[in-house]
Amino acid sequence: MAGSLISQSEQVFIVHGVENDFRSDGRSSIDYRPMELETDVVSHASGSARLRLANTDILVGVKTEIDVPKPETPGLGKIEFFVDCSANATPEFEGRGGEQLANTISSTMQRAYYSPQAFNLKQLCIFEGKQCWKLYVDILILECGGNLCDAVSLAVKAALFNTRLPCVKAALMDGGNIDLQLSDDPYDSKQLDIGTAPLLVTLCKIGTKCVVDPSAEEERCSVISLVVGVTGNPNFYQTDDNVIPDIKCKCSTISMNGPGSLSPKTLKSAIEQGITAANCLDNALGDALLREKDEISYLKKHSYGFLK
* Per-residue pLDDT at 246: 66
* Per-residue pLDDT at 86: 80
* Per-residue pLDDT at 81: 95
Residue 74, pLDDT above cutoff 50 = yes
- Where does the pLDDT of residue 163 fall: very low under 50, low under 70, confident under 90, or very high at 90 and above? very high
pTM of the prediction?
0.87
Percent of the chain with pLDDT over 70: 88
Ranking 110-124, 163-177, 217-231 by mean pLDDT, the lowest is: 163-177
Residue 281, pLDDT above cutoff 50 = yes
- Where does the pLDDT of residue 90 fall: very low under 50, low under 70, confident under 90, or very high at 90 and above? confident
Please report the domains of the chain, with CATH numbers, ordered by start residue: 8-297 (3.30.230.70)
* Per-residue pLDDT at 139: 95
Strand partners, 139: 60, 83
* Per-residue pLDDT at 251: 86
- Where does the pLDDT of residue 4 fall: very low under 50, low under 70, confident under 90, or very high at 90 and above? low
Write the secondary structure of the chain as one string of H (helix), E (strand) and C (coil). Answer: CCCCCCCHHHHHHHHHHHHCCCCCCCCCCCCCCCEEEEECCCCCCCEEEEEEECCEEEEEEEEEEEECCCCCCCCCCEEEEEEEECCCCCHHHCCCCCHHHHHHHHHHHHHHHCCCCCCCHHHHEEECCCEEEEEEEEEEEEECCCCHHHHHHHHHHHHHHHCEEECEEEEECHHHCEEEEECCCCCCEEECCCCCCCEEEEEEEECCEEEECCCHHHHHCCCEEEEEEECCCHHHHCCHHHCCCCCCCCEEEEEEECCCCCCHHHHHHHHHHHHHHHHHHHHHHHHHHHHHHHHHHHHHHCCCCCCC
CB 226 within 8 A of CB 205: yes
Residue 2, pLDDT above cutoff 50 = no
Span 211-269, pLDDT tens digits: 898 888 888 888 889 999 999 988 888 876 666 766 788 888 898 888 888 888 888 88
Span 180-192, pLDDT tens digits: 777 777 677 888 9
Region 118-126: what's the mean pLDDT?
A: 89
Averaged confidence pLDDT in the chain: 84
